[in-house]
Amino acid sequence: MYSDSNIVHLISILEAIEKCFIYTDGFVDCYEFRWHNDQMNFNACVTLLIAIGEETKNIDEELKNEFPTINWKAIAGMRDKMAHNYRGIDPEITFDIIKESLPELKHTLIQLFSRVSFEATMLLQALKSEHYKHIGYLLSLVK
């Protein structure tokens, strides 16, 4: 079992993923998504993707190695490119990451919980927070 310190990173990533799904809901293409609401949805998702990339860097390497189908280095690299080249962010790639890659990442992150030692009360307390209101499905992991 891996350290409970991983839980903070896992729930932060999952909440960011859910918000990306909410902010892209209903958009059929990247251009509509990019320009909608004076780019607020696009900018929010870029910030969330940066946060996802940063949080993945903090998950135990050995734990990530148990899930080689996820390209963890690419996620961290995406964060670095977005953070340091904001004007060069491709809306098509951004939209594709959210729609095509985040569902698989979400599924994998939920699987990671089974390999992390954590106190149920710690997770319950986090899930009661307004900050993590979109990941209530994790309550099923509390025994």
DSSP assignments along 96-127, one per residue? HIIIIIHHHHHHHHHHHGGGB---HHHHHHHH
The active-site residue, picked from 9, 34, 84, 107, is 84
Residue 116 forms beta bridges with which residues?
2
The active-site residue, picked from 34, 79, 131, 134, is 79
The reply to whether 131 belongs to the active site is: no
C-alpha radius of gyration, the chain, whole number: 15
Query: In the block, which residue shows the tokens 């729609």?
Result: 99
**And the tokens for 102?**
């985040």
**And the tokens for 40?**
């607020």
The reply to whether 79 belongs to the active site is: yes
Q: Which residues are known to be catalytic?
A: 79, 84
